[in-house]
Structure 1
C-alpha cells in the first residue's frame, strides 16, 4: 500500500500539477526605461550643449581644485615648517626705545618704539583679551584663520560705500592681521630700505598680497595655538605714541601693567587698534573715550560684560597717568634727545633709560605762566611767540617751553633753535668786563650825545630809548635804566675784545658783533645760552654749560654707561666782580626797567632787552635759587607792537618764577654792595670818536686808573 502510494497506485495515475514558475527578474539591461521625449530643433540642441558644458566644467573644476588644494597644502606646510617658535616673534621692533626720567626718577617721556615687555593671552587682564576679540574678531577661536563671512561682509560694505572691494574694511581675522604685522616673515633690513618703506611694503593691500597673507595665516594656524597667535598679536600691534604692544601702551597711557587694566582701560586700549594716532588718548581724550564706550557695548552684546559692569565702566572712563598727560615731554625731551649721543638716543637699537634734570613741578609752572599771560595780557589772535628756560645756577635745566603750544614733540624749539638779537639783555657782560678790571658799580660815566666814526660805515650816533640824556650817572644807574650811551662808552673804554671775550666765556658763543653796537646787543644768541650766561653770574662768575642729561644706562643695567658731572666750567670773572654785578642787576628789578618782574618781596636781579624796531623782547633774571630767561617775538621777525623787555616778557618771568617759588623760603641774593670810597670817572671829553676815547684813556692812566682798551686783563689797582 505504501509502495503503491509511492510508486504509482491510483494516486500515481494522476499526473502531478506543475507548479507555476515564478517570473524571473528581468535584467537591468533588459528593463525598459520610460521613454523621455527628446526635444528636437534648436532648443533641444542648446539644452544638450549646456549639460555637456556643465559636466565638462565640473570635471575640470574638481581636478583643478584638487591640484590647487595640494599646492596650497604644500605652501602652508612650507610656511608652517619655516615659522620660528612663537616666543621669538614677540618683539619685532626695528629700533630701540628711550625712556626719560625726571630728576626724581619718575618717567615723564618716551622716544622711539617702546616695548614694555612680553605679555601672553594668559597673563593679560581678561578684560583686555575680551575687548580685543570683541573688537577685531569675535569668531577668533572658531575659525581656521580665515573668515569667508567676514571677507564677504567687508566687500559688501566697501562696495556700498562707493569704494573698491579691497579698499576700506578688510574683513581680516586676528590671524591675518598678525601675518601682516610679521610682514609675512620678511625681516627688516636697514641696509636696503628705510623703515618707512618697509612698513609701506608690509601694509600693501593688493590681491596678490592678500592671497599671501591668507596662506601665511593658514600656516600660523597649523604651527601655533590660538593663544600663541593672540600673544604675538598683542605684543606686536602698534598702539600710538611709539608704543609697540599692549604692555607698552598700558604703561604709557595708564602707568600700569596690561595685566591690571580694568574694563574701561581695556576698551580704550583695544580702541587704538583701528587707528592708533586718531584715537590715542594723548591726542584727543574725548574721542578716545567715545571709542572705548562703543567697545564696551560690543563686549556687553557678546556676553563679555554684564549690563551692570558695562554701566559702571561707561560711568567711570579711563584716566590718563600724570606722565601720559604730559604727553611726550615736549621741548625738553626733544632737546635732551638731540644733545645726547646719537647711537643711544635718535638711532638707538637698545632700550635706554636717561635720567634728566627736569623738574616736572617747575615745568608745569612755566607752561601755566605762558598760558595765563597769553590768555589775559595778549590780544586774541596774536601770532606772537614766546619761549621760557628755567635752570639752576650750575646750568641744570629744570624746565623748557619752546613756544606757545606746550604739549608737542618734534616742533621748532625757540628756546634752543632760534638765534635772535639780544638787545640790552647783553649789557651785563659789558659791565662784567669793567668790573673784572676793578671798576666799581659807583664809578661814573657821562650820558651825553656821542658819535663814533666807524671805518667803512661812517659816523654812528647811539641814542637812549627815551631820547634824553642824564649827564653824570653811575654804572649802576646806567644799567638800572638801560642807558645806551654809557654802555657804549664803557665797552669802548675797556675794549670790545675784552667784552667779547667775557661774553664768549660766559657761553654766548655765536658770532659777536665787531663794531661798537656790540654793547647794545646787536649780536645773536639763543635763549638757553643767554640763560646759562646769567647763571654764570649767579654762581659767582664761573661759566656753565646748560645740560639736561644726568646719566644714561641700558634697560635692566644697574650701572650707567655715561654720567654728566655738572655744568660749571672755568671762572670768567672774580667772585667779587660777580657779586657787584648782581647788586647792579638787582637795582634793575627793584628800581629800574624790570620792576614789573617783582613778586613776593624777594630779592631778584635781571635785565630787560629790546632790539631794534622791537623785533625781540627779553627778560632774563634770577633769584637766589633759580635763573629764568624769557624771549618774545614773531617767527618772521615782524616788529612787536607796544612790547618791550620790561613789559610782557617781565610779566611772563614774574608769573613763572612766582609759581616756581611757591612755598620756598625767602633767600637773599649773593650780592656785594659797593664801598663808599673814591669812585673812578670814566667820562670821555666832549670830542667824539677814537680821538676822544684815546684822550679819556690817557687821562685815566695819568690819573692812576687801571683801565685798558685792549683785550688783556691787567690787575686793577686798589
Structure 2
C-alpha cells in the first residue's frame, strides 16, 4: 500500500461516539488591559471620538448639576422650613383673625327700624365653617378650591394648570390665573401677617392693593405662610377665616354681612342659589355684585351651581331648580333707597363717628323709605315722559316735615348712587321768585294784610355806586294797583320790590336768614327778586317754618347715634324747631297768599285734586334755575331743576317741570293719607265788619307809610332808594283817604238799607 504511489489523505481519529461531535473547549478571553499595557493600543469601542467627548461632557454636567441641585434643594427646603416655623410661631388664635377691618362701619336705620344704607365695611358678626349653610361651604369649595381638604396648603397641580391656562391665553405664566389654593387666598387676606401702617401706606386702599398683588415674589412668600397655617389650624379653621374676611362688594366684609346686605338673611339660611351667587362674587366682588348688575351676578352664580353639581354637592334636580329660580335681591337691596340722604348724614355727623370711626356705629334717621321711593319714582316718570331724550338737565327733591325732619332726599337724576354730587345739599343756586314769600312775610309781620294795595308800574331805583336800576316783570306788562296777594300770586317783580323797599331790606334780610336761608344775602334792591344763593335743603327748611306757624327749623335727618352693642345713645336729634321768626297770624296770612299762587297763579300745575296746596314758583335770570317749593298740611316739598354748568334751561320755568315733579311726588306721598286743611287765615280774619279798620274808627297799627293811608307809599313810582315824603306827597294822599272814607260810609248806608 505504501508503494502504490497515491498521496495519502489526512489522518482522521477514530470515532469514539456515534452521536454528535463534542464541543470545542472555550478559549480564555484575552486580558485586554494586559494587552493595552503590552501593546499601548486602545481597542475599538464602537463610538467615535466626537461622540465620546460629547457624552463625557454631558455626564460631567449632569453630575455637577445633581451636586448643585440637591444642595440647592436642601437649602430651599431649609429656608422654607425656617420661614414656615417663623410664621407658625407668629400666627395668633383663629378668633383674632376673623374681623380684619381697620375701620368700623355705619349702619343707618329708617323710621320703621329697617336698615336702608351702610357705609364703610360692614361686618355682620363672626361665623364659623360649622354654623353657616352647608350650601355656602360647598359653593365656596366648588368655586375656589375643590381639592381644599386634600392638599397641604399649596397645590403644585393647581399652579401648573394655571400656568398652562395663562400661556394658552397668550399671557405670561404667572399673569392671570394664579392657581392659589384657598389657604393661599387666606394668606393673602391676612396680608402675610403684615399689619396696616399709615406711615408706610398713604391709604388703606394702597395697603389692600399691596396685599392682593400677584407675581412670583408674592407666590413665594405665600408658600411658607400657607404651610404654617396648615400646621397651626385645622381645615375648618382656615375656611372660617376665609368666610369672615373675604370682601364681597357693596361694603360687605365677610359672608354674613353679604347675606344680610343682599338677601336680608343670615349666612346660616342661604339656599343653593343664594350661596352660589355669593361664592361667585369672590373673583371680582364689585364687578359681579348684584346691586351693580343683577343679571351678570345671576349668570356667574349659574356657573357655580354647575360646579357644585359636577363635584357632587348638588343633585341634577337641585341644580335645575337653582337654575330656574336664581337668587334675587331683598326689597331693601333692590331699592337702594336713600343714597343721597345717607351721604348727607355722613357729612353732618362727626368724622370720628362716621368716615373715621374705628367702631361699628348705628344711626337712626328720619328717612321714610315709602316717601323716598315716591320721590325717586316721580322724578323718573317726569323725565321719561316730558324731558327730551339725551337731556343733561339735573333735578333734586327734598321732602320734609314741618319740624324740619327730612323724610326723603333725591340729589340727582341717578338715584341709586353713593358718593355722588348732591344737588339738594351741595348746589348753591340763585333762588329767583321762591325768595319772594320772605318779603311778604316781613310786611305781614309788620301789620300789613293780604288785601293791602301795592302799585305794579314801571320802577327805577338809583342804587349808589351802580346807578339806576329798573326791574321788569316776566310778562313785561303792568297791572296797576293790586293787592299783596295778587302780587305774590302772579309773581310781580315791581310790586315785590316796592314792598321790600317800603318795609326795609334789612327787615327782609333778617326774616330770610332767621328762617334758615343762606347767609351773605344781596345788599341792593334786587334782594327781593331772589338774586342771592341757597341750597334746596335750606329753602325747603325755610318754607317749613312758614307751614309750622312762623318758627324757624334746622333740617335734620338723625334722631339717634350709638355704638353697636351699646344701649345708650351718644347723640340725639340733630335739629328741629328753633326761634319764632314771624307771628303766627302773619304766617297764616302768608299761607293764604301762597295757596292763591297754586289756585290762581304761577303754580297751578302743582294743584292736587283732593287737598289744599300752597307754594311758590321760581325762575332765575335766563332760566338757569327753576324751582317749585310748596306744602300741604302734612309735608313740605322742594324741587330744583337746572344744569350743572349753569347754562339756561330750554322752555322751563318753575311753574312747569318743577311743579310737575312736585305734583307727581305729592300724589304718591299723600296717597292713602286723610286730607287736612292748610293752617291758613281767611279773608274774614283781616277784613273788618265796620266801615273802618277798627271799632275806634282808626287804621290798624303798622309802620307809617303815609298820613292815614298805609298804602300810599306803594301806589306811587319810586325814583330813588326809599325817598322821603314831602308836602306834595301828603297833599296828594289826603284826597285818596277822604275818597275811601266816603265810599265806605256810602257802602255801609246802602248795606243797611
Q: TM-score, normalising length from structure 2?
A: 0.87
The one of 157, 161, 164 equivalent to 2:165 is: 157
Question: In structure 2, what is the equivalent of residue 353 of structure 1?
Answer: 362
Q: How does 1:63-462 map to 2 (within 5 A)?
A: 63-193=71-201, 194-327=203-336, 329-462=338-471
SS of equivalent residue, structure 2 residue 451: coil
Q: What CA distance in whole angstroms lies between the structure 1 residues aligned with 2:726 and 2:538? A: 34
Q: What CA distance in whole angstroms lies between the structure 2 residues aligned with 1:283 and 1:696? A: 72
SS of equivalent residue, structure 1 residue 689: coil
Counterpart check, 1:695 vs 2:716: no
Counterpart check, 1:475 vs 2:484: yes
Task: Kindly state the Cα deviation for residue 152 of structure 1 after the two structures are TM-superposed.
Answer: 1.1
1:174-210 per-residue CA deviation (whole Å, 9 max, x = no partner) reads: 0011000000001112344221221122122232221
The one of 513, 519, 528 equivalent to 1:510 is: 519
The one of 675, 681, 687 equivalent to 2:711 is: 681
Q: What CA distance in whole angstroms lies between the structure 2 residues aligned with 1:217 and 1:386? A: 53
Question: In structure 1, what is the equivalent of residue 617 of structure 2?
Answer: 608
Q: What CA distance in whole angstroms lies between the structure 1 residues aligned with 2:731 and 2:121? A: 67
Q: What CA distance in whole angstroms lies between the structure 2 residues aligned with 1:703 and 1:70? A: 111
Provide the aligned length of Structure 1 versus Structure 2: 673
Q: Which region of structure 1 is more displaced relative to structure 2, 646-655 or 65-74?
A: 65-74
Task: Kindly state the Cα deviation for residue 666 of structure 1 after the two structures are TM-superposed.
Answer: 0.8
Cα distance change on mapping 1:328 and 1:110 into 2, 3 Å: farther
**2:108–2:116 contact (8 Å) kept in structure 1:** yes
SS of equivalent residue, structure 1 residue 563: coil
Cα distance change on mapping 1:360 and 1:701 into 2, 3 Å: farther
Q: What CA distance in whole angstroms lies between the structure 1 residues aligned with 2:125 and 2:728? A: 75
SS of equivalent residue, structure 2 residue 482: strand
Cα distance change on mapping 1:632 and 1:698 into 2, 3 Å: farther
The one of 38, 48, 55 equivalent to 1:47 is: 55
Q: How does 1:439-588 map to 2 (within 5 A)?
A: 439-564=448-573, 566-588=575-597
Q: What CA distance in whole angstroms lies between the structure 1 residues aligned with 2:712 and 2:287? A: 66
**2:462–2:721 contact (8 Å) kept in structure 1:** no
**1:682–1:696 contact (8 Å) kept in structure 2:** no
**2:338–2:408 contact (8 Å) kept in structure 1:** no
Q: What CA distance in whole angstroms lies between the structure 1 residues aligned with 2:589 and 2:346? A: 38
Q: Which has more radius of gyration?
A: 2
1:505-553 per-residue CA deviation (whole Å, 9 max, x = no partner) reads: 0001232111111000010100000000000000000000000010001
SS of equivalent residue, structure 1 residue 239: coil
The one of 584, 589, 593 equivalent to 2:602 is: 593
Cα distance change on mapping 1:685 and 1:665 into 2, 3 Å: closer
Cα distance change on mapping 1:537 and 1:156 into 2, 3 Å: same
SS of equivalent residue, structure 1 residue 690: coil
SS of equivalent residue, structure 2 residue 267: coil
**2:454–2:715 contact (8 Å) kept in structure 1:** no
Q: What CA distance in whole angstroms lies between the structure 2 residues aligned with 1:404 and 1:534? A: 24
Q: Which region of structure 1 is more displaced relative to structure 2, 320-329 or 89-98?
A: 320-329
Q: What CA distance in whole angstroms lies between the structure 2 residues aligned with 1:696 and 1:114? A: 74
Cα distance change on mapping 1:526 and 1:162 into 2, 3 Å: same
Q: What CA distance in whole angstroms lies between the structure 2 residues aligned with 1:196 and 1:312? A: 40
Task: Kindly state the Cα deviation for residue 239 of structure 1 after the two structures are TM-superposed.
Answer: 0.4
Q: What CA distance in whole angstroms lies between the structure 1 residues aligned with 2:220 and 2:398? A: 56
1:307-346 per-residue CA deviation (whole Å, 9 max, x = no partner) reads: 0001111111112112211237310100011101111111
SS of equivalent residue, structure 2 residue 292: coil
1:647-684 per-residue CA deviation (whole Å, 9 max, x = no partner) reads: 11000000001100000001000011242134841544
Q: What CA distance in whole angstroms lies between the structure 2 residues aligned with 1:644 and 1:142? A: 71
Question: In structure 1, what is the equivalent of residue 64 of structure 2?
Answer: 56
Task: Kindly state the Cα deviation for residue 58 of structure 1 after the two structures are TM-superposed.
Answer: 1.6
Cα distance change on mapping 1:696 and 1:243 into 2, 3 Å: farther
Task: Kindly state the Cα deviation for residue 36 of structure 1 after the two structures are TM-superposed.
Answer: 10
**2:556–2:574 contact (8 Å) kept in structure 1:** no
Q: How does 1:610-649 map to 2 (within 5 A)?
A: 610-649=619-658
Cα distance change on mapping 1:700 and 1:110 into 2, 3 Å: farther
**1:685–1:696 contact (8 Å) kept in structure 2:** no
Cα distance change on mapping 1:700 and 1:587 into 2, 3 Å: farther
SS of equivalent residue, structure 2 residue 409: strand
**1:684–1:695 contact (8 Å) kept in structure 2:** no
SS of equivalent residue, structure 1 residue 651: helix
Question: In structure 2, what is the equivalent of residue 10 of structure 1?
Answer: none
Across the aligned residues of Structure 1 and Structure 2, the Cα RMSD in angstroms comes to 2.1
Q: What CA distance in whole angstroms lies between the structure 2 residues aligned with 1:428 and 1:608? A: 10
Q: What CA distance in whole angstroms lies between the structure 1 residues aligned with 2:159 and 2:549? A: 73
Unaligned residue ranges in structure 2 (runs of 5+): 1-33, 35-42, 694-698, 700-709, 735-753
Task: Kindly state the Cα deviation for residue 39 of structure 1 after the two structures are TM-superposed.
Answer: 3.2
SS of equivalent residue, structure 1 residue 371: helix
Q: Which region of structure 1 is more displaced relative to structure 2, 205-214 or 475-484?
A: 205-214
Q: What CA distance in whole angstroms lies between the structure 2 residues aligned with 1:400 and 1:698? A: 56
Q: Which region of structure 1 is more displaced relative to structure 2, 205-214 or 312-321?
A: 205-214
**1:98–1:112 contact (8 Å) kept in structure 2:** yes
